[in-house]
């Protein structure tokens, strides 16, 4: 696992970064001192080393069982309770995995629900499941979130009607708090197999718990390697000294750019498989930092696709953005552009070149253009798209978020603002305890 960062195009002097060294050291120590307290939500910090080995085995055997008896695993969850799993599965599967046959995919198809309230989505999902065998993994730390609760009610009924109460019970896997919440209570009463989200780990930092690992393992991805990569990153970025810690340098750089008026960070990838990784990043940074009227607004673009939609803005719109590109050095497969005798499309100048070469040149040209257009660029490079590197990348960004949020002076581990829409929605829906006529 090796992640390399290139800060050359940020127009920020290394000396500026190093001015933060005392502040960074203090935050580093504080994070590590807090690690045993449940309410401080830093359990993820040493999770790649001290994860629950018994629970890990339980996850592996549940994934095996699901692979034996189900064509589809329906993962019901929202926010941190689904984005990490989806990001890893999409990054490490075929771009068309949902269209592959079981024989091609070799593993149960993982589909997601409970992350929106669209009746179309639910009905179309019911149609896709049809008469296929399926199981459910419902994930909610609080156990009370409306979107997954509604989806679970709908699909549990379908499962019970299809298999009868007893078999349906054996096809329901619940990932939730060890003792609190409606989902925990329901699981105890119904006798569902449960997996625990530790108290000291918040949703968006929970990829290496059962929240991420059960769906990821079911999709046939090696979760030992994934967590192994995270462990390497944990070791690599454990240095409190800013000079030696590129993860903390990245966090500091974000802070410097923010103070220079760069309030939007655009996460860019040149690999469509990374789309959900960007979605996960948006949630990780957005929910962790956007509070107290502060915070960098995270945006995601898929390139080169979005050069033909947002590229114009990136180049010449408001100059309040900086860009963080995730570059994958070596593609998992490649394709060579052949010579064409007629050359009517004028592409013979590329004959003999491979597509990754063209993609990289597009990336280099775009970075050059953006930098000259006053969009500072941070380049995060990873060798290859595989379990180890992805595990490392996830850990890298989790740690950067913790450092960055603290530098900003906010608590990166809470999300008080998310409650606002819920209160209004419950009032409008007439939920008991929420007065319908009172704003």
Nearer to ligand PA5, 135 or 145 (CB): 145
Please give the distance of CA 152 from its chain centroid, rounded to a whole number: 22
Residue 10 vs 137, nearer CB to ligand PA5: 137
Name the catalytic one among 162, 360, 381, 422. Answer: 422
Q: Find the catalytic residue in 265, 287, 289, 388.
A: 287
Closest distance of CB 113 from ligand PA5, Å? 13
If the CB atoms of residues 81 and 269 are measured against ligand PA5, the closer one turns out to be 81
Residue 204 CB, nearest distance to ligand PA5 (Å)? 3
78, burial (CB in 10 Å: exposed 0-12, middle 13-18, buried 19+): buried
Q: In what order do the strands lie in the sheet with 321-330?
A: 3-6, 377-384, 321-330, 264-269, 297-302
9 neighbors 16 (Cβ within 8 angstroms): no
Name the minimum Å distance from CB 79 to ligand PA5: 3
Annotated catalytic residue 308? yes
Residue nearest to ligand PA5 (CB): 203
Q: Which two tokens stand for residue 32?
A: 């590590």
Nearer residue to ligand PA5 within complex by CB, 78 or 314:
78
Minimal distance, residue 81 CB to ligand PA5, in Å? 4
Task: Look up residue 63 and give its two tokens.
Answer: 């994934």
d(CA 430, CA 436): 6
Known catalytic residue at 16: no
Largest CA distance in the chain: 75
Going along 310-401, which residue ranges are E strands?
A: 321-330, 377-384
As a residue count, the chain comes to 439
Q: Contact residues for ligand PA5 (CB under 6 A)?
A: 78-81, 140-142, 145, 148, 202-204, 287, 415
The reply to whether 287 belongs to the active site is yes
* Catalytic position from the list 308, 420, 438, 439: 308
Is 210 within 8 Å of 63 (Cβ atoms)?
no
Compare residues 182 and 362 and give the one whose CB is closer to ligand PA5. Answer: 182
User: At its nearest, how many Å lie between ligand PA5 and the CB of residue 290?
Assistant: 12
Phi-psi region of 330 (alpha: psi -120 to 50; beta: other; left: phi over 0): beta
Residues with active-site annotation: 287, 308, 422
């Amino acid at each position: 696992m090796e992640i390399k960062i290139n800060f050359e195009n940020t127009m920020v002097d290394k000396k500026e970064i190093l001015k933060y060294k005392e502040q960074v050291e203090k935050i580093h120590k504080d994070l590590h001192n807090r690690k045993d307290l449940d309410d401080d939500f830093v359990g993820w910090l040493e999770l790649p080393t001290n994860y629950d080995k018994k629970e890990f085995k339980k996850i592996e055997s549940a994934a095996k069982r699901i692979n034996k008896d189900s064509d589809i695993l329906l993962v019901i969850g929202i926010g941190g309770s689904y984005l990490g799993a989806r990001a890893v599965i999409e990054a490490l599967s075929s771009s068309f995995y949902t269209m592959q046959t079981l024989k091609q995919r070799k593993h149960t198809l993982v589909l997601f629900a409970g992350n929106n309230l669209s009746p179309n989505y639910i009905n179309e999902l019911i149609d896709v499941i049809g008469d296929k065998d399926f199981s459910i993994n419902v994930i909610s730390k609080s156990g009370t979130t409306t979107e997954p609760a509604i989806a679970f009610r709908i699909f549990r009924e379908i499962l019970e009607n299809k298999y009868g109460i007893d078999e349906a019970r054996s096809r329901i896997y619940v990932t939730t708090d060890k003792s609190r919440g409606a989902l925990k209570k329901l699981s105890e009463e119904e006798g569902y197999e449960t997996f625990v989200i530790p108290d000291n780990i918040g949703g968006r930092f929970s990829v290496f718990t059962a929240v991420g690992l059960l769906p990821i393992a079911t999709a046939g991805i090696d979760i030992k390697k994934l967590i192994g990569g995270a462990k390497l990153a944990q070791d690599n970025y454990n240095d409190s000294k800013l000079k030696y810690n590129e993860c903390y340098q990245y966090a500091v750089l974000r802070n410097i750019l923010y103070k220079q008026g760069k309030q939007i960070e655009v996460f860019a990838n040149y690999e469509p498989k990374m789309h959900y990784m960007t979605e996960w990043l948006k949630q990780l940074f957005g929910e962790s930092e956007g509070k107290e009227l502060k915070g960098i607004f995270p945006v995601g673009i898929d390139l080169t696709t979005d050069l033909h939609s947002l590229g114009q803005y990136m180049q010449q719109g408001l100059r309040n953005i900086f860009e963080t590109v995730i570059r994958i050095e070596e593609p998992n497969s490649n394709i060579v552009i052949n010579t064409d005798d007629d050359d009517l499309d004028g592409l013979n100048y590329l004959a003999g070149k491979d597509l990754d070469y063209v993609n990289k040149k597009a990336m280099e040209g775009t970075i050059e253009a953006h930098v000259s257009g006053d969009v500072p660029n941070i380049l995060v490079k990873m060798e290859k798209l595989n379990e180890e590197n992805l595990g490392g990348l996830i850990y890298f960004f989790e740690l950067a978020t913790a450092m960055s949020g603290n530098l900003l002076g906010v608590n990166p581990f809470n999300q008080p603002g998310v409650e606002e829409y819920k209160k209004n929605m419950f009032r409008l829906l007439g939920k008991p305890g929420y007065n319908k006529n009172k704003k």
